[in-house]
Amino acid sequence: MLRRLPGDRRPTWLDLVLSLAVGVAGLAESLGRRSAPEQIGDPVPLAAGAIVSGALLLFRRRFPMTVLLALTALGLAVQTVTETGYYAAWHFYSTLILVHTVASSAELRSRRGVAGLGCVLIAYGTLQTFKHVDGPEVLISAVFMGVAYTSGILLRRQIDRTARLAGHATRLEMEREERARWAVAEERSRIARELHDVVSHNVSLMTLHVGGVRRTLGDGREREVLLGVERAGREAIEELRLMLGMLRGGRGDDPPASQPGLDRLDDLIEQVREAGPEVHLRITGARRPLPPGLDLSAYRLIQESLTNVLKHALAAKVDVTVAYGPAELSVVVVDDGAGPGRHPENGTGGGGHGLIGMRERTVMHGGELSAGPLAGGGYRVFARFPLGDPR
């Protein structure tokens, strides 16, 4: 119950020790000097004041200024009741403890700090109203209270400095972890690129050679075997591309995000329509499930084409056609734009990187891509993806 949590102002074990120390010392002072009537005539008020003073110290962290004023009032009350010139030591000890607490509870430049300084001056001024106070006692009390107040200020500054250093260390740790994650992601991306360049290229080359050999054969058993090998090679390329795409995606502990496909074309076209041009979508043939990689590549090709229309074409109308054939999937994007930023050969203003990406996606699946301006104005992107038998 007394264990202090971060930001908690409940009593701590130190508060309990100080409270017991002041209470016990006050009782010993009050009851131990009963043989000196000229100093303590009735020890009961002093003993009760010592107990109350110790109890007040339990709340010094939560209400430091209120407790200091309450202790000052308690000292005046005990002096009034006893009607002696004796000043209890427990009151002075408690006052020093509370002055230190008030100084450490708030920055001096804040409103709360100024109010705390006012409470300290009130407590010090009250001490000077007690009987038998001479010049040396005024100076001694001023020195002790000044030391207590200064030590509280220094403690406050040390606490603030420690908090700033802790916050700085936390930020540095977060930045270090972020740099480490970034380095891991970069390394994974580099490995993925190298694997894609080496493995995918060689597997694609073997698949093309097998296809070339298959075309020179008749309709025998060997042709069917080579056709199976060619299909397996293309599937391996597709699976390799998907797996390396996940490797490029970032952290290994993140779940793979769902990839879009042609079933989400309506959402894509609606977004483009909101940007300005009028887009018409036409789908011919019977829709059927496509391999995940091919479905994604066709979607990305249309997405990149529409992005180029928005960025460079200044088109008012765009026609998107997706045709499902018996052995191929065709995608056609035609616009009526002729923007000044459109390159006459590749349709982009940024060096053709978008078109290069579309061509890579198409060739990856054994397809073909053509793109260029139309005679009557506008631009046309055509892609063909083979389905089923690679023939």
Look at residue 85 in the predicted model and tell me its pLDDT. Answer: 65
- For 242, the token pair is 């998907």
Residue 74 in contact with residue 53, Cβ under 8 Å?
yes
**The Cα angle at residue 117 between residues 116 and 121, in degrees rounded to 5:** 120
Look at residue 351 in the predicted model and tell me its pLDDT. Answer: 41
Q: Which residue has the tokens 């005024």?
A: 138
H or E stretch at 334: strand 328-335
Look at residue 353 in the predicted model and tell me its pLDDT. Answer: 52
Per-10-residue mean pLDDT for the chain, 391 residues long?
49 82 80 60 78 86 88 83 74 87 84 86 81 73 86 88 88 87 77 66 67 69 70 70 60 53 88 82 90 86 86 81 92 80 45 68 86 88 80 43
Look at residue 133 in the predicted model and tell me its pLDDT. Answer: 64
Nearest to 227 by CA among 247, 237, 213, 241: 213
Query: What's the CA gap between 330 and 370, in Å, rounded?
Result: 12
Question: In sequence order, which ranges of the chain are alpha helices (DSSP H)?
Answer: 13-32, 43-57, 64-82, 89-105, 111-127, 135-195, 201-216, 221-248, 265-275, 292-308, 353-364
Q: What is the pTM (predicted TM-score) of this model? A: 0.44
Helix (H, G, I), strand (E, B) or coil at 346: coil
Q: Which amino acid is at 368?
A: E
Look at residue 328 in the predicted model and tell me its pLDDT. Answer: 92
Q: How far is CA 202 from CA 18, 43, 55, 234, in A?
A: 80, 101, 84, 12
